[in-house]
Structure formats: C-alpha cells, structure tokens
Chains A and B, each alone.
Chain A
Amino acid sequence: MPALRPPRRAGFFMRIAKLLAGAVLAQAGQLHAADVQAGKVKAQACIACHGEQGVSSMQNTPSLAGQPDGFIQWQLVYFRGKTRKDDIMGPIAAALTNADIRDLGAYFSSLSPPPPLTDADPDTPRFARGAKLAQANRCSTCHGETYAGQQAVARIAHQREDYLLKALRDFHQGKRTGGGIAAMPDAVYRLSDEDLQALAHYLARFQ
C-alpha cells in the first residue's frame, strides 16, 4: 500500500511556483486567433451602454474595460446559451459568432480598467466591513489578491458599485447561477443584504 507522502520542503514549492508562472504567461499569449482591431469595430454595437472605452456611465450596466478575456467570452457564451438570462444581453449575444466573441474579448480586455471610486467624505466603517467580509469569505481565492480577476473569473475591483450590488443580489436570489462549477450563489448565500452592500462599497473603492 503506498504510504502518504510527507509534505516537501519550501524549495520545491518555489520551483513549482516559477514553472507555473511561466505556464500562465505562455497561456495568456496562446489564446485565440482573436483580433483586437476587429473587436474594436464590433464593439461599436456595445459602447452605447458599456461606455466609449468600456467604462460604463450607465446605471446597472457593467464596465467591461480590463475584464479578463476569458471572463468576457464565457459570459457572452452563457448569454447566448441562456445559461445567464438577461433581456438586454440575451438577444445581443444570440447574434454573435464564436469569432465575434473572441474579438470582443480581446478588445475589451485590452482596455485600461476604471480607477477606484473616491469619496469626499469616506464611509470608513462600511469600507472596513466590506474588507473584512471579503477576507472572511475568501473572495480573493478566485478573484485574485487585487480582485482583478483571471481567466473565467470577473474583475470586481472598481466595477460600478450599483452593478456590483445588483450582481451580488442576483446571485443571492438565485436569478444568476453562473456556469460550470463557479458557484457564486453559494459564495454569497450566507450574507445579508447589508453585507452585500458593504462588499459592493468596498470593491468599488478597493485600493
């Protein structure tokens, strides 16, 4: 019977970490025969709502600038397959081909993400509560230490606060389920609405 292996030395992990970092970079370069320029042209159909440079100034409408390519693509695939249901995005995504989706993902992910929200009169206790909740619920495991997202996981740092809250509420109420094994509804199900508000407040301002 094979025995359980003892944990190995730190040097081992350093080696793996370096290898992994290399693999991740290689992967980012490999993606698809996607075309940023073609994406920019196709994005003319999107900017009325999502903003000129992918930074939205429309209520309850997310900024797309700086979202991970994979996240944008997956969400468009979900809208198209009605796994994610939305009256506005459903019909828009239904008309997109796989090539369109690759180009749009490449374009919006290439834009600079919006800056953090700043207040003249910061609500420090609320910010602190959001920070604590984010840590206690291990949001960064998937969204990354800076909440910039990665692969199929959304950038949530500096997203519009109203949209963050809407998204969290949608997950909480089961209106949005997420695809595959990404279980956002379970990530937020124990949280109160006040918690969700604090998280949205914190993430929009995260520095």
Chain B
Amino acid sequence: MKLQSLMRPWAASLAVAALSLGFGGLPSAAQAQDLKHYDSTKPDFWKHPPPDWFLGDETAQQKGLSPKAGPATGMTEEEINAALKNIKLPKGFHISLYASGVLSARQMAWGDKGTLFVGAFGVGNVYAIVDNGGKKEVKTILTGMKMPTGLAFRDGALYVADIDRILKYENAEANLDKMPAPKVVYDDMPPYVAHGWKYLTFDKHGWLYVAFGPPFNIGLPPSGTSQIRRIDPDTGLSEVVALGVRNSVGGDVDPRSGKYWFTENARDWMSDDIPSDKLNVISRLGEHFGYPYCHQGNLPDPKYAMGHKCSEFTPPVLNLGAHVAPLGMKFYTGKQFPAKYKNNIFIAEHGSWNRHQYQGANITRVVVDTKGKRAKASVFASGWIKGKEDFTGRPADLIVAADGSMLVADDWAGAIYRISYGK
C-alpha cells in the first residue's frame, strides 16, 4: 500500500492543527490536505523543483514545518547588543558586535590587507568590511548576483561562488569601490538553486574544495551533485574527492594533516530526532559518505537504502545532532585563546527549521585527533534560540582573525560578531 493512502486518516485529524508555515509563516488553519508527496526521482523535478521543494515526503508528525524567513533588514544595533547579552560562553571569553548591516551574511574571507569579505544568501550581495580608524565600514561591493554565499581569497584575488560559476576578481582590495570585471574560472557546475549554494576552501596548493548539494531533500542525485570536488582555479581542472554527500556548506583543511574536513546537513522529514547532521573527514580519494542510502553512519534510508548496508560507507567522525544545521567550520589556528583550543574545530550551527523545538544555533567546539578518532563535541557559544521556534541570531560561518579572536557571521541578524579571550 502506498504511504500516502496509509497516512490519510492522520492528515484529516490534523485539519485544525496544520502547521503550514509556507515560506516561514502563519499556520494556514484549514489545510486539511493529504500529506505532501514529492517524486524527486525525475529530471523534471531537478530542473523545475516545486516552489516548496525543500519539503519532503511529509510525515504526519513533521507536517507543516518550513524554513523561517529572517528579518529582511537584519537586526538593529540595539537589538543585536541586547541579544548578545544572552550569549553564554566559557569563562574568560567575550562576544561583541563587530559590524551590523551585513544582510544575509554567510561565508567570510580575509584579504591580504585586512579587508573582511562576506558573501550572502538571500540578498545577492558581496560585502567588504574595512576598518576606518577603529570604525567598521560595510561596503556592498557586488550586487545582483544569484546567491553568492561562498567566497575565498588568495594572492590578491577574491573568488566568489555564485551557484553555477566561480568568479575571480583580481586585485580586489585595491578596487573595493569599483570591482573589476570578473573572470569565470570554473563553470562545470549544475544550475540548481536548491542546495546549490556553496562554500569555498583553499588548500595549500591553491585548489578549492567545493561541495555540490543534491537539488532536493532526498532522492538519487543527478550526476554532478552530492559530491565534493577539488578545483584548480588557475587551470579549470577538477577532481571528485568525495561522494554521497548531502548539503555541505562548511569545511576546512586540517593544519595538522592537510586533510579536508566538512560539515554535512542530513535529510529532513524523518522526525525531530533523526537523522543526525554530521562532521566528516576525507581520508581517501573518492570516499562515499552514504547519502542517499545511509544516514548518520547507521540509519538506512526508509525509501532510498535500495539494498545498501551502512557498512558500505564512510561513517561520520561525529554525529552532531538532528536539525542542528552545521554550516561554516574552522580549525582554531590563532594564539589568543588558551592553548587547549589550538587546532580544535569550531562549527557554526545555523539551527533548525524541520523540528518542533529548535536546536543548534550555536557554536560547537570539537576536539579530535588527525585521524578523526577520540572526537568530543561541546557547546562553545549558545543563546540564539528564542522560545521553541524562533531565533535572535543564527551563526552561519566563522573565521579566525589576525589577533587570534574569532569572528562569527550571522545571516539572521545581518551581523558579524567578535569572540575574544581575556582582553
């Protein structure tokens, strides 16, 4: 029997309680419809996903949950300062506002001369934050892009990933007021917006690690997606370094071993508590991390396991929790924090939407050896969840500053924070 018909009686009893939030909103009370069912197996779905593609085959329990639209103009400085008063950190650490008005702030990258570049999600902007005699000035240096979430900087050039192209802006820091015309350095990339937003990480050879998410919640991914590639922007060459990866928008090269570690957002619409989001490390070229067959290292997908066993795939280093949404991550390479933090991994967790009590929305610290063994996670900074299903901020990325403090990008507040120790 089809799942949908099985579920029908439940759907009817849900009439009053339907939590349909649409693009983050009010329950539409009379949504006495069947549970939603999506056939994501056909190319037509990828090319023209339904507008609510981020939904999955609904369970009665999860019905109606949907991503929340944050405040369009971010939060005001007063609102942010009030919110930061509630952030809990280990003793000796402090958090303060570094810059506001950085709407939809996502990945950050440092220029050679100290400019902080910031990508964005819903707003098609790229920002440059410069220091004007102690005051941070936020310049919008690029506009009208599709979704320039990912960026990186090397040898004077800014690289921006805008869904299906990686663009290079030469001599960026000298041209913040009028960015030069970009050069397309790589475009062998699928056009799907769904999970098409990117994160860029250079390794020491100048190749970029880039993850390609599948254009749906769950399904057999179109070739060219659900993988991580290593791309040489100088030659346009690339190699696939990992398979079976769902939505990964964060990663870093281990300063100890040179290996690439990455965060991964697991599928939605199973329940509030499974499957867990992950932290992974690539140890071997072409490793398969399980998606869509197996989640969290031990949970075969109810529909897409297709006879596979979890033992066929590389397990995560760590399961971080369900719907915590780990995004940007960095190894701590600074000198300001106490010695025990050296080479720890810090992860910006963006927080839930497909869960009735939000969780995540914090900065998580992971202590782990180079092989991915003896991993221990703890919450480093928290306090951005308001009530059950609301935020006062959502950490999206992290970066270590020259003075050893750590900056946090928050796309909900449209702000950058600075976490420092001691001083």
Contacts and interface: CB of A to CB of B under 8 A. Distances in A.
Interface stretch (A55-63, A77-85, A115-123, A196-204): A77-85
A189 B49 CA distance: 10
A187 interface: yes
A33 interface: yes
Interface residues of B, number: 67
A140 B25 CA distance: 12
Interface stretch (A8-16, A36-44, A162-170): A8-16
Interface string B107-151: 000000000000001111100000000000000100111100000
Nearest to A183: B51
Question: Which size bracket describes the interface of A in this complex?
Answer: 35 or more
A91 interface: no
A85 to B, nearest CB: 7
B79 interface: yes
B123 A151 contact: no
Interface in B322-355: none
A111 interface: no
Interface in B62-119: 67-69, 71-76, 78-79, 101, 103
Contact of B388 (A14, A19, A74): A19
A14 B160 CA distance: 46
Interface string A120-157: 00000000000000000010111111000011110000
A13 B25 contact: no
A144 B358 CA distance: 23
Contacts of B27: 17, 20-21, 24
B304 to A, nearest CB: 14
Interface centre among A32, A74, A181, A182 (most CB of B within 10 A): A181
B53 interface: yes
Contacts of B274: 2, 4
A186 interface: yes
A141 B76 contact: no
Contacts of A142: 22-23, 25, 51-52
B48 A70 contact: no
Nearest to B35: A7
Contacts of A5: 61, 271, 273
Contacts of B22: 141-144, 150-151, 153
Given A1-B299, A78-B123, A152 B51 contact: no
B341 to A, nearest CB: 32
Interface stretch (B11-19, B172-180, B225-233, B241-249): B11-19
A77 to B, nearest CB: 5
B48 A186 contact: yes
B194 interface: yes
B71 A73 contact: yes
B193 interface: yes
Contacts of B356: 16
A90 to B, nearest CB: 10
A102 B73 contact: yes
Contacts of A83: 122-124, 143-145
Interface centre among A13, A32, A177, A189 (most CB of B within 10 A): A13
B210 interface: no
Given A77-B103, A153-B22, A182-B23, A187 B51 contact: yes
Nearest to B144: A82
Contact of A17 (B19, B101, B145): B19
Interface in B6-32: 7, 10, 13-14, 16-20, 22-31
Given A7-B7, A186-B50, 19 more contacts: A4-B271, A4-B274, A7-B59, A14-B16, A14-B17, A17-B17, A32-B76, A81-B125, A82-B144, A83-B124, A140-B28, A142-B51, A145-B28, A150-B22, A150-B25, A151-B26, A151-B69, A153-B69, A180-B122
Nearest first, the 8 A-B pairs at minimum CB distance are: A150-B25, A142-B22, A82-B144, A13-B17, A180-B122, A73-B72, A152-B69, A7-B60
27 contacts: A2-B274, A8-B60, A10-B13, A20-B19, A20-B389, A23-B389, A32-B79, A81-B125, A81-B140, A83-B123, A83-B143, A83-B144, A83-B145, A98-B103, A101-B72, A101-B73, A141-B22, A141-B28, A145-B28, A145-B29, A145-B31, A151-B26, A153-B22, A153-B25, A183-B51, A186-B48, A190-B48
Interface of B: 7, 10, 13-14, 16-20, 22-31, 33, 48-54, 59-61, 67-69, 71-76, 78-79, 101, 103, 121-125, 140, 143-146, 193-194, 270-271, 273-274, 298-299, 302, 356, 387-390
